[in-house]
């Protein structure tokens, strides 16, 4: 039997999320009691993409549960860029709104970059504005994108070492891979690692993944990382959320990560499950960023 079998730590995002939400509750109560401020998120949904509708609904539910306000502006698919930007400008100037979120992906007719850039950096609770990415890369993060921010919280909660470690990130998207690199490579909480970023241009991916003390995978390929691609004792953060057909499931599908969980479990020192790993952290970090913005508004 593999020596790591009994020691592998399951990195449950729900535990970390509960811990953070308890702390947020105190901050929210304080904001209400002392300043009469209720943190408020304004989300914008263009079109009727079912996955996006689902994401928005879960965000609304989470905010409601925490006694915060979440309003959604539902716009038709043929909304023009100027209409959308006008709406964002109004929200930028509305003092009761602390966070603005544009649900991605936007319809192809709209320039996502232009629209995201029109959100005030002070209310950019998704952390996608170039100014906030710039602060992050200067080592002074203000609003950290929610998924990488949630991963840092998981590493912190479970005391997974990063300092002097080799962290390998697979994926270089603007929402996961790139900000993750910026956080881990700098001398920040749960940073100070030597970081390698892999992507489709990487020659011999296994060469790098086998060197990882910490492997963060966000490629969007179901069960892509196999046991023979990692070394014993690797800490694995699986960001992937992939729907795969499964006739044995009632719904006809199941959700799997980018890591072949059962193939990698024995060899890993710790691993996030999918679902239940990184997923629960993303909305919690959105709440956290919105509370921060509400505090900054005082």
Q: Using CA atoms, how far apart are residues 46 and 234, in angstroms rounded to an integer?
A: 41
Q: Which are the catalytic amino acids?
A: 59, 103, 126
Query: 92 or 202, CB closer to ligand NDP?
Result: 202
Tell me: does residue 54 bind ligand NDP (CB under 6 A): no
CA angle 85, 87, 92 (to 5 degrees): 90
Query: 79 or 224, CB closer to ligand NDP?
Result: 224
Residue 78: which residues within 8 A CB-CB, separation 6 or more?
109
Binding residue (CB under 6 A) for ligand NDP from 82, 108, 187, 201? 201
Pattern 169-188, ligand NDP, x by CB under 6 A: -xxxx-xxx-----------
Query: 3 or 199, CB closer to ligand NDP?
Result: 199
CA-based nearest residue to 2, from 232, 229, 231:
232
Tell me: does residue 276 bind ligand NDP (CB under 6 A): no
* Consecutive H or E run containing 233: none
Stretch that binds ligand NDP, among 14-22, 52-60, 125-133, 239-247 (CB under 6 A): 239-247
Tell me: does residue 278 bind ligand NDP (CB under 6 A): yes
Tell me: does residue 202 bind ligand NDP (CB under 6 A): yes
Please list every residue from 60 through 99 that binds ligand NDP, using CB under 6 A.
Answer: none
Task: Kindly compute the dihedral angle of the four CA atoms of residues 88, 94, 97, 100, in this order, to the nearest 10 degrees.
Answer: 10
Tell me: does residue 199 bind ligand NDP (CB under 6 A): yes
Give the burial string for 72-93 (b: 16+ CB within 10 Å, else e): bbebeeebeeeebbebbeebbe
In terms of Cβ atoms closer than 10 Å to its own Cβ (0-12, 13-18, 19+), residue 270 is: buried
Tell me: does residue 205 bind ligand NDP (CB under 6 A): yes
What secondary structure letter does DSSP report for 171?
Answer: -
Task: Kindly compute the dihedral angle of the four CA atoms of residues 145, 216, 103, 128, in this order, to the nearest 10 degrees.
Answer: 30
Query: 242 or 297, CB closer to ligand NDP?
Result: 242
Tell me: does residue 248 bind ligand NDP (CB under 6 A): no
Residues that bind ligand NDP (CB under 6 A): 147, 170-173, 175-177, 198-202, 205, 218-221, 239-242, 278-279, 282
């Amino acid at each position: 039997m593999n020596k790591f079998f009994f020691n592998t730590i399951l990195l449950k995002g729900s535990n970390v999320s509960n811990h953070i939400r308890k702390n947020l509750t105190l901050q929210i109560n304080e904001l209400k009691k002392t300043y009469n401020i209720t943190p408020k998120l304004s989300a914008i949904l263009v079109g009727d993409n079912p996955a996006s509708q689902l994401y928005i609904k879960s965000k609304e539910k989470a905010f409601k549960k925490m006694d915060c306000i979440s309003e959604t502006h539902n716009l038709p698919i043929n909304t023009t860029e100027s209409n959308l930007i006008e709406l964002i400008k109004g929200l930028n100037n509305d003092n009761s709104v602390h966070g603005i979120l544009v649900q991605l992906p936007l319809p192809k007719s709209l320039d996502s970059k232009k629209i995201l850039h029109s959100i005030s950096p002070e209310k950019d609770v998704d952390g996608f504005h170039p100014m906030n990415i710039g602060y992050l890369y200067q080592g002074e993060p203000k609003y950290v994108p929610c998924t990488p921010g949630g991963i840092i919280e998981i590493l912190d909660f479970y005391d997974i070492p990063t300092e002097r470690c080799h962290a390998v990130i697979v994926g270089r998207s603007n929402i996961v891979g790139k900000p993750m690199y910026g956080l881990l490579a700098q001398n920040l909480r749960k940073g100070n690692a030597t970081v390698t970023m892999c992507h489709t241009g990487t020659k011999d991916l296994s060469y790098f993944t086998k060197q990882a003390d910490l492997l963060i995978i966000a490629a969007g390929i179901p069960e892509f990382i196999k046991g023979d691609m990692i070394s014993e004792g690797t800490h694995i953060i699986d960001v992937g959320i992939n729907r795969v057909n499964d006739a044995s499931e009632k719904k006809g599908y199941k959700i799997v990560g980018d890591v072949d969980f059962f193939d990698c479990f024995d060899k890993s020192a710790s691993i996030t499950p999918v679902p239940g790993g990184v997923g629960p952290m993303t909305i919690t970090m959105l709440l956290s960023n919105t509370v921060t913005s509400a505090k900054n508004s005082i």
